[in-house]
Amino acid sequence: MGLAGSIFPGCWGATARPLAVWGSLLTLGLIAPLAQAQAPLPLDSPPREQPREQPRDQSPGQIPRPTPGLAPAAPSTAFDDYRLGPGDGIFIGVQRFPDLSFPATLDIQGNIVVPLAGTLSLTGLTLDQARDTIYDLYNQYVVEPDVSLILTTQRPVEVTILGEVPRPGLYPLQAPQLAVALLSAGGSTTLADLRLVQVDRPLAGGAPLSRTVDLFTPLLQGEPIPQVRLQDGDVVTVPRLAPEAVESYDRDLVATSTLARPEITVRVLNRATGGRGTEARFGSLNLRNGSRFLDALAAAGVNPDLAAYNRIAVLRFNPETGAADQIMVNATAAVSGDPSQNIPLQENDILVVDRNLLARVSYALNIFTQPFRDVLGFLLFFESLSNAADSLFRP
């Protein structure tokens, strides 16, 4: 094996580098002096401390890079710091030393195999901390190596999504972005406040990090949506819009964006159907989110010759009061181009068509004195009205 092999025991099997390469580096003075070099120690044994030259790019008083094998520096509080874990792919580049440059994927224990140094754990380190750790390892053999580290593949993550989304729960994400997480849970509901989306990130051995993300203001100003990168274990909470903030929040704008649920379901209680318009029908429609009143009328096939077009009600469940809010719409004016009458629809809206039918529905709502417990109770109430059509809607 020769002199170099006696100086660097065990490193040849890890790197499989020819002796000629190291002989050339030694001749050029690019390897640290043999008297100062030491053999890499096993993974479970920290290396012995030894004096080290001050790098040229480090000014007096500058915080030195961490010593390998010792406890890492306190973790950065920056929310955007990415921390490595099993499954991440990285590339280590060392200028002038292609034999020391290599790609690697962290194994299930978060380890990689580093030329000369052997197995090294990078779990929980930021990219800068991992680069500095590898710099210190190489600096034992190469004089002031220029080391760079690039994240080439981010591991899939699992995040929890709560709050105002149709399907809250735990989601695996191949593209770990906040916008992708919202869409995976069905998009934001009409009750969501996208100005105050909360991302909580637990840290092993430290206080959790938290960030509040405003996704609404960029929509309002026509700017790109913030690309917030999520990490494994993040908890995303979409809060409900407070009643006092409704006036300053444009739900219609959100409904037409890619952050909202793609479809909404509305119901139509319609007596203006059939040849004579004597049957009351209660059906549901799936419409594109952001659809308006006339879109629902067209999809429901409401007959303008039979319906009371100038007086159609949109009943909307109010979660604050537990009651049904009634919005009167003049469909004739909406068809004539009045935008104030072609109102945007929301999830679970109910359209009541026919003047006499509306009067009887209003009477039924008035005698129903108990508030609805939730939107399901609100919808079941109208299902019961439809089932009792013979008595309620008889001319």
HEC profile of the chain: CHHHHHHCCCHHHHHCCCHHHHHHHHHHCCECCCCCCCCCCCCCCCCCCCCCCCCCCCCCCCCCCCCCCCCCCCCCCCCCCCECCCCCEEEEEECCCHHHCEEEECCCCCEEEECCCEEEECCCCEHHHHHHHHHHHHCCCECCCCEEEEEEECCCEEEEEEECCCCCEEEEECCCEHHHHHHHCCCECCCECCCCEEEEEEECCEEEEEEEECCHHHHHHCCCCCCCECCCCCEEEECECCHHHCCCCCHHHHHCCCCECCEEEEEEEECCCCCCCCCCEEEEEEEECCCEHHHHHHHHCCCCCCCCCCCEEEEEEECCCCEEEEEEECHHHHHCCCCCCCCECCCCCEEEECHHHHHHHHHHHHHCCCCCCCHHHHHHHHHHHHHCHHHHCCC
Q: What is the pLDDT of residue 273?
A: 59
What average pLDDT does the segment 81-105 reach?
A: 91
Of 135-149, 333-347, 348-362, the poorest mean pLDDT is in 348-362
- The per-residue pLDDT for 150 is 94
Residue 33 has pLDDT above 70, yes or no: no
The torsion angle over the Cα atoms of residues 90, 94, 100 and 105, rounded to 10 degrees, is 0
Of the ranges 41-45, 224-228, 304-308, the best mean pLDDT one: 224-228
Q: Which of 27, 8, 44, 5 is nearest to 138 (CA)?
A: 8
Across 39-43, 76-80, 123-127, 383-387, the highest mean pLDDT is recorded for: 123-127
Residue 7 has what pLDDT?
A: 37
Q: Are 195 and 216 in contact (CB under 8 A)?
A: yes
Token digits for 41? 């120690």
Mention the CATH class of domain 263-392.
Answer: alpha beta
Taking the CA atoms of residue 151, residue 152, residue 158 and residue 161 in that order, the dihedral angle to the nearest 10 degrees is 80
Which of 390 and 220 is assigned the larger pLDDT?
220
At residue 75 the predicted structure's pLDDT band, cuts being 50, 70 and 90, is: very low
pLDDT exceeds cutoff 70 at 61? no
In the chain, CATH 3.10.560.10 sits at: 157-253, 263-392
**Does position 151 have pLDDT exceeding 70, yes or no?**
yes
Span 2-42+78-153 CATH architecture: 2-Layer Sandwich (3.30)
pLDDT at 181 exceeding the cut of 90: yes
Q: Residue range 104-112: average pLDDT?
A: 93
Q: Is the pLDDT of residue 183 over 80?
A: yes
> Residue 345 and residue 255: Cα distance in Å, rounded?
10
What does the CA dihedral 318, 324, 326, 327 come to, rounded to 10 degrees? 40
pLDDT at 67: 39
Of residues 19 and 112, which shows the higher confidence score? 112
Average pLDDT over residues 164-170: 93
**Does position 246 have pLDDT exceeding 70, yes or no?**
yes
CATH 3.30.1950.10 residue ranges of the chain are 2-42+78-153
The arithmetic mean of pLDDT across residues 158-184, rounded, is 92
Tokens 């043999």, residue located:
34
Q: Would you place residue 213 in the very low, low, confident or very high pLDDT band (cuts 50, 70, 90)?
A: very high
Contact 346, 295 (CB under 8 A): no
Quick one: what percent of the chain has pLDDT higher than 70? 72
Q: Which range among 94-108, 261-275, 352-366 shows the weakest confidence by mean pLDDT?
A: 352-366
- The pLDDT confidence band at residue 63, using thresholds 50, 70 and 90, is very low
Query: How high does pLDDT run on average in the chain?
Result: 77
**pLDDT > 90: percent of the chain:** 33
Residue type, 204: A
What would the mean pLDDT of 299-313 be, rounded to a whole number? 82
Superfamily of domain 157-253 in CATH is Outer membrane lipoprotein wza domain like (3.10.560.10)
Confidence tier at 269 by pLDDT (50, 70, 90): confident
Mean pLDDT value of segment 207-229: 90
For residue 359, the model assigns a pLDDT of 67
Q: Return the closest-CA partner of residue 83 out of 135, 157, 138, 134.
A: 157
Is the pTM of the predicted complex or chain greater than 0.75?
Answer: no
Mean pLDDT, to the nearest integer, of 102-125?
92
